[in-house]
A and B are shown apart, each in its own frame.
Chain A
Amino acid sequence: DGGITQSPKYLFRKEGQNVTLSCEQNLNHDAMYWYRQDPGQGLRLIYYSQIVNDFQKGDIAEGYSVSREKKESFPLTVTSAQKNPTAFYLCATSRGSQETQYFGPGTRLLVL
């Protein structure tokens, strides 16, 4: 079963807590992305990675961190520094730049 998996589907965060969202792919794509979606707004890029062991900040990286130790995996940590983390988070992959992006099912993060 090929594709992109994100877990968990729903995640609850307490004040001051760091949480990590998982993104795994078996498409053998080099590039991976994290987006945030808020109601009434377009998707916004948090971080992206062109290749293993490399990643770049997107438009709204503050309060987030990532790692890319394996080609298949690109976890996103929402730190306590992110003051408004409630959103829908989407992971995507592509073969390279300016290529079709394939999206995972998303994780909804809620703050308790």
Chain B
Amino acid sequence: KNEVEQSPQNLTAQEGEFITINCSYSVGISALHWLQQHPGGGIVSLFMLSSGKKKHGRLIATINIQEKHSSLHITASHPRDSAVYICAVNINSGGSNYKLTFGKGTLLTVNP
């Protein structure tokens, strides 16, 4: 079983819809990251969070440490949001931890 699981694997939405992508993890973590990968392959970091909620524009990321779960929300979705969204975690190893463990990603397609 993967330490980081994302759902759904694929998501198709109509422009304007509210979108939620979920990430569950099975280990103790020190931080969780949400990344975006566009069709060309480049990856952009969207959020890094260890508690609570963060918002940037139409994107909102939340994390529940007790439930080992995080969600990425996109409000008023747009075709340019079409990308693979990746969840990754720094596993809590008790010291400095450079390594990220990644989920397999969620492919989001937003149709006009």
Given A41-B104, A42-B104, A42-B105, A103:B44 Cβ within 8 A: yes
B99 partner residues in chain A, CB cutoff 8 A? 45, 48, 58
A94 partner residues in chain B, CB cutoff 8 A? 98
Q: How far is the CB of B82 from chain A (nearest CB, A)?
A: 18
Q: Is the CB of B96 within 8 A of A97?
A: yes
Task: Tell me the count of chain B residues lying within 8 A, CB to CB, of chain A.
Answer: 26
Q: Is the CB of A98 within 8 A of B104?
A: no
Given A50-B98, A101-B33, A42:B2 Cβ within 8 A: yes
Q: Is the CB of B98 within 8 A of A48?
A: yes
Q: Is the CB of B100 within 8 A of A105?
A: no
Contact residues of B between 12 and 57, Cβ < 8 Å to A: 30-31, 33, 35, 40-45, 48
Q: How far is the CB of B26 from chain A (nearest CB, A)?
A: 14
A71 to B25, CA, bound (A): 33
- Map CB proximity to A onto B88-110 as digits: 1 under 8 Å, 0 otherwise: 10100000111111111100000
Q: Is the CB of B97 within 8 A of A42?
A: no
A33 contacts the other chain (Cβ, under 8 Å)?
A: yes
Q: Is the CB of A101 within 8 A of B100?
A: yes
Q: How far is the CB of A74 from chain B (nearest CB, A)?
A: 13
Contact residues of A between 12 and 68, Cβ < 8 Å to B: 31, 33, 40-45, 48, 50, 58
B2 partner residues in chain A, CB cutoff 8 A? 42
Q: Is the CB of B42 within 8 A of A33?
A: no
Q: Is the CB of B30 within 8 A of A98?
A: yes
B104 partner residues in chain A, CB cutoff 8 A? 40-42
B4 partner residues in chain A, CB cutoff 8 A? 42
A50 to B96, CA, bound (A): 10
A100 contacts the other chain (Cβ, under 8 Å)?
A: yes
By a beta-carbon cutoff of 8 Å, the part of chain A in contact with chain B is 31, 33, 40-45, 48, 50, 58, 88, 90, 92, 94, 96-103, 105-106, 108
Complex A-B: 6 CB contacts under 8 Å: A33-B98, A42-B105, A50-B96, A97-B90, A98-B90, A105-B40
